[in-house]
Structure 1
Amino acid sequence: MKQIYILAVSLSCFLVQVSVTSGEETATVSFRSDIAPILLDSCLACHGPKKAEGGYRVDTYKELLKAGDSGELPIAASPDQVNELLRRVACDDESERMPAESEPLAAEQIELIRKWIAAGGKFDGEDAGQSLTLVIPPVKYADPPEVYSQAIPITATIFSPDGKLIVTSGYHELVVWNTEDAKLVRRIKNVGQRVFALAFSSDGQTLAVGCGEPGRSGEVRLVDFNSGEIKGVVARTNDVVLDIAYRPGTNELAIASSDSTIRIVDVKTLQEIRSIASHADWVTAVAWSDDGTRLASASRDKSAKVYDGATGELLSSYLGHGAAVRGVSILADNKQVVSVGADNKLHRWNVEGAKKVAEVGVGGEGYKLIRNGTDLFVPCSDHRLLRIDLATNKIAQEYKGHSDWVLSACYQPNTAGDDKRNYIASSSFSGEIRIWNIADAAIVRHWIAKP
């Protein structure tokens, strides 16, 4: 939408501003369900907090009511006044009509706005200062395609608690595969467009799904793994959720988002416990210590940080990477942290004083880390998954064979207690899943995870 500076009102624009008295409307129009989605889709790009053309914003209901530079009221206080919002979207004059330089709103959308204003232009949410993304009720996403035309990058994977299944990210869905024969078992629908993180609750019944649509929305959906039903939606925000991690022994879930914030949510009550805003850019990864007393984070702002797990107090900030940090893990003694990122190096550093004590070159950009005892697994952009021995700070094993960036990895629970069944899985940008025997890096099975 362009700046609202034109004082003269063309006849075609004026005529659409008919008398809108509440008495002539019977249907209820909801700001949350009907109006906010229109504003989000068609107006926010030019009238948000970062870019407010004509001094006008629509990112919250409070801002929507404020006049822009023209001084004209978007929503009039009385029926005999012009409603500038309705006039602009319904105008026939392209020089004044909004959205500018774009297709006009559909007649049905304009009618919804007209009816809403006629009924008083009321807000039916809990907080008029909330962003549009949070005001809009959680959506029921459209079903994914029955058959993918091409493979998509697998950005998140996780083994089921019994190790018999592996769950991979899809397009508006999760795809569940049998680990023994790589056959498709089922598909879990109604999740965000892209899935970046997966985590099972301690009882294995609930799968938390960090997802969203880049630059538009983000959330965590809590899925009943047995039924595939959505049990709840938490941590809704205006950009994607990039990582999640359960605090050991609790119902608390740490959530890393592209809005630079870490949220701690109770997945039983669906209430936010605290929010941590220590980073200046995307929070790309979070990890709890084994005992849950500390929380670590990685960020695109080139830092990794450690917090008190109970209070969120910042304990340490490591700035040694000099590039975006993509993965982080707190070691078993709670005294050291390892982090990896776009500088192609694994850094090992002390929590106290944030001083580096070791460095390992990994050959490519490293992503979210998987730690099991003294074994650390690093997915890399150079098409490899690496196992680093934390006792020696050296690469102990290379898992090679992917044709593209390795984006994520997951460790298979060894429920049978058989050392010969000690597996790790990796996923790549090309959509390939590979399951490896950890000890000798032999490939057990691989397939393209494309329904």
Structure 2
Amino acid sequence: MNHYLSAAFVLLSLAAQSALAAEPTVSFRQDIAPILLENCQACHGAKKAEGGYRVDSYAELLKAGDSGEIPIAEDPNDPSELLRRIACEDEFERMPPESDPLPADKIALVQQWIAAGGKFDGDNPEQTLGLVIPPPTYAAPPEKYTHAVPLTAITFSPDGKQVIVGGYHELTVWNAEDATLARRIPNLGQRIFALSFSPDGETLAVGCGEAGQSGEVRLVNFASGEVKGVIARTNDVVLDVAFRPGTPEIAVAAADSSLRIINTQTLAEVRAIASHADWVNAVAWSDDGSLLVSGSRDKSAKVYQAETGELLASYVGHGAAVRGVSVLPDNKHIVSVGADNKLHRWQVADAKKVAEVPLGSEGQKVLRVANDLFVPCAGQRLVRINLADNKITQEYKGHGDWVLAIAQQPGEVTDPSGRLLASGSFDGELRLWKVSDATPVRNWIAKP
């Protein structure tokens, strides 16, 4: 690799600095970070750092890679390797590799930013690019849907009177008593995959995104419907979120294979766990918050010590994607379901299976209430499993498509019989059931 600038390039750079000096200030947050995220981070990120060089934060951007060349020179008159590599004509040196060169206007932005001193205009130079970039404001969803949206996430309001489901760039809130649309909460990612209320019931965490493009967790003030902020961003959709009991911490599982724990008050990343090799589909805490469990498309489920992130057990008995997980009340057993059409019960101590329950079709998620486990299945039904004997005690039938999401009306945990169960399916149907006897209460297509 050449480690020098030609005289012509030096002149070009100096001329550009002079010509651009009078131009409006270029912002790292608004202008430069999006260029790096879209064109550079895939090869120069935390997980994959080609040439020992990373661009996933401003702090990393300034550090030299294996070549030792200075990426961003302190003196704008000195050569900056980053600028040289994106602007050079030699296709073997130009970045990004095996791709078209960056458009001239983007190169000009980088030139102007470096000429002005390459400054950082965010709050924390250690933050990842995804969090530095100002979050987008999404366009308003359509007034009326032409097609129903698959219901991949549902939950009840804290008072149990409303059911909240994911829509297209929004949440729709329905009155449980009469199935009427109460309100809509916009400015969210394209598709909603996970919902979790904070322990105080005031904030709703929304895991969302656009498949293969981006993902994020937005915090919504449920009373007002206002988006309070974005606490996590990824380069693929967020598939599950779960608040740690009694704390402001939230676990975030995403299709970029990441598992993160974030403090929703300070917005600091408490811990990043890079244990899975594929999508992290599901995450759950133990009742006391001391254990964290995750399930992945890599066919494994894993248990971690919550305070340290230490891996305690890795279960590989499924042989297929794991889509739902839960820690049982004794903190000694885990249950997991997935694409192998079975529920597995296994031990934290040695990751050995102790029981298996055939589901008849793929299990999508799990909802545990005391010693009962509710599993939505691809076979157009839900099942209720008694964890005392690991047997199916009830079936909830009536959906016409895969059942993808499930939620239970809040209430006294020791007596769930008087509550309602909500389930959502791929065809957009929302159903309410009596928990006690699986009697259907009402059903409707949850689209405006």
1:407 and 2:407 correspond: no
Q: Deviations over 1:351-410 (max 9, x none)?
A: 222221110111222122101122211111222211112222222222222222211100
* Aligned residue number for residue 131 of structure 2: 134
- With over 3 angstroms needed to count, the CA separation of the structure-2 counterparts of 1:85 and 1:18, relative to structure 1, is farther
Choose from 352, 368, 371 the match for 1:371: 368
Paired residues of 2:94 and 2:101 also in contact (CA < 8 A)? no
1:446 counterpart residue number = 443
For the Cα contact (< 8 Å) 2:16–2:112, is it kept in 1?
no
Q: How many residues align?
A: 446
> Match for residue 157 of structure 1?
154
Check 1:334–1:73 CA distance in 2 against 1; reply closer, same or farther (3 A cut): closer
Structure 2 partner of 1:230: 227
Equivalent in the alignment of 1:278: 275
Matches within 5 A, 1:242-253: 242-253=239-250
Residue identity opposite 2:363 in structure 1: G
Counterpart of 2:389, as a letter, is T
Aligned partners of 1:17 and 1:82 also within 8 Å: no
Please tell me whether the aligned partners of residues 349 and 356 of structure 1 are also in contact (alpha carbons under 8 angstroms).
yes
User: Could you say if the C-alpha distance between residues 290 and 131 of structure 1 is closer, same or farther in structure 2, counting changes exceeding 3 Å?
Assistant: closer
| 8 Å CA contact 1:16, 1:91 repeated in 2 | no
1:152-206, Cα deviation, whole Å (9 max, x unpaired): 2111100011111011112221111111222111111222222221111222111
Shift of 1:58: 5.8
**Alignment of 1:301 onto 2:322:** no
**CA separation of 1:306/1:158 partners in 2, compared to 1, >3 Å: closer, same or farther?**
same
3-state SS of paired residue (1:25): coil
- Does 1:334 pair with 2:331? yes
* Structure 1 portions without partners, runs of 5+: none
Letter paired with 2:433: W
2:245 aligned partner, one-letter code: P
Corresponding residue number in structure 2 for 1:436: 433
User: What is the CA–CA distance in structure 2 between the aligned matches of 1:239 and 1:72, rounded to whole Å?
Assistant: 32
Residue 169 (1) aligns with residue 166 (2): yes
Give me the whole-angstrom Cα distance separating, in 2, the residues matched to 1:254 and 1:51: 23
CA 1:95 to 1:145, structure 2 compared with 1: closer, same or farther past 3 Å? Answer: farther
More moved, 268-277 vs 165-174: 268-277
Task: Label 1:58 to 1:363 Cα distance change in 2 as closer, same or farther (>3 A).
Answer: same
Inter-partner Cα distance in structure 2 for 1:72 and 1:311: 36
User: Residue 146 in 1 paired to residue 143 in 2?
Assistant: yes
Q: What CA distance in whole angstroms lies between the structure 2 residues aligned with 1:54 and 1:250? A: 40
- Does residue 258 of structure 2 align to residue 261 of structure 1? yes
- Structure 1 distance, partners of 2:345, 2:414, is 31
Q: Does the 8 Å contact 1:256/1:262 carry over to 2?
A: yes
Of residues 178-187 and 19-28 in structure 1, the stretch that sits farther from structure 2 once superposed is: 19-28
Shift of 1:272: 2.9
Letter of the 2:183 partner, please give it.
R
Query: Judging changes above 3 Å, is the alpha-carbon distance between structure 1 residues 376 and 19 closer, same or farther for their aligned structure 2 residues?
Result: closer
Map 1:59-74 → 2, pairs under 5 A:
61=58
Amino acid at match of 2:387: L
How far apart, in 2, do the equivalents of 1:205 and 1:64 lie?
Answer: 38
Match for 1:185 among 133, 158, 182? 182
Amino acid aligned to 2:118: G
8 A Cα contact 1:22 1:120, kept in partner: no
Q: Given residue 182 of structure 2, which amino acid in structure 1 is its aligned partner? A: V
> Residues 295 and 306 of structure 1 are in contact (CA less than 8 Å); yes or no, is this contact kept in structure 2?
yes
The Cα of 1:316 is off from its aligned counterpart by 2.3
Moved more, 268-277 or 393-402: 268-277
Alignment-mate amino acid for residue 137 of structure 1: P
Work out the percentage of aligned pairs sharing the same amino acid. Answer: 64
Is this contact kept in 2: 1:25–1:115, CA < 8 A? Answer: no
Displacement of 1:89 in angstroms is 7.9
Rounded to whole Å, the distance in 2 between the matches of 1:346 and 1:66 is 48
Alpha-carbon distance between aligned partners in 2 of 1:297 and 1:232, rounded to the nearest angstrom: 25
1:77-226 superposed matches below 5 A: 105=103, 112-125=109-122, 131-226=128-223
Answer whether contact 1:21 1:119 (CA < 8 A) is retained. no
* CA distance in 2 between partners of 1:275 and 1:416 (Å): 32
Unpaired segments ≥5 residues, structure 2? none
| 1:321-346 CA-partner distances (Å, limit 9, x unpaired) | 12221111111222221111111110
Deviations 1:242-275 (A, max 9, x none): 2122222233322223343332333233333333
Aligned-partner Cα distance in 2 for 1:263–1:320:
24
Report the secondary structure of 1:367's partner residue. coil
Q: Does the CA-based 8 Å contact 1:89-1:110 persist in structure 2?
A: yes
Q: Taking structure 1 as reference, are residues 80 and 236 closer, same or farther at Cα in structure 2, changes over 3 Å only?
A: closer
Change (3 A) 1:112 1:158: same
Q: Which residue of 2 aligns with 1:313?
A: 310
Query: 1:197·1:209 contact (CA, 8 Å) conserved in 2?
Result: yes
How has the CA–CA distance of structure 1 residues 424 and 361 changed in structure 2, closer, same or farther, with 3 Å as cutoff?
same
Bigger drift between 387-396 and 306-315 goes to 306-315
- Determine if contact 2:76/2:116 at 8 Å carries over to the other structure: no
Tell me the CA shift for residue 84 of structure 1: 8.7
Distance across 1 between alignment mates of 2:436 and 2:284: 25
CA gap of 1:103–1:172, structure 2 versus 1, over 3 A, is farther
Taking a change above 3 Å as real, the CA distance of residues 309 and 78 of structure 1, as seen in their structure-2 partners, is closer
Q: Are residues 79 and 291 of structure 1, via their aligned partners in 2, closer, same or farther at CA, if it must alter by over 3 Å?
A: closer
Going from structure 1 to structure 2, the CA distance change for 1:422 and 1:188 (only over 3 Å counts) comes to same
Distance in structure 2 (CA, Å) of the matches to 1:427 and 1:106: 48
- Let me know the Cα RMSD of the aligned residues: 4.0
- Report SS of the residue matched to 1:115: helix
SS of corresponding position for 1:340: strand
* TM, length-normalised to structure 2: 0.83
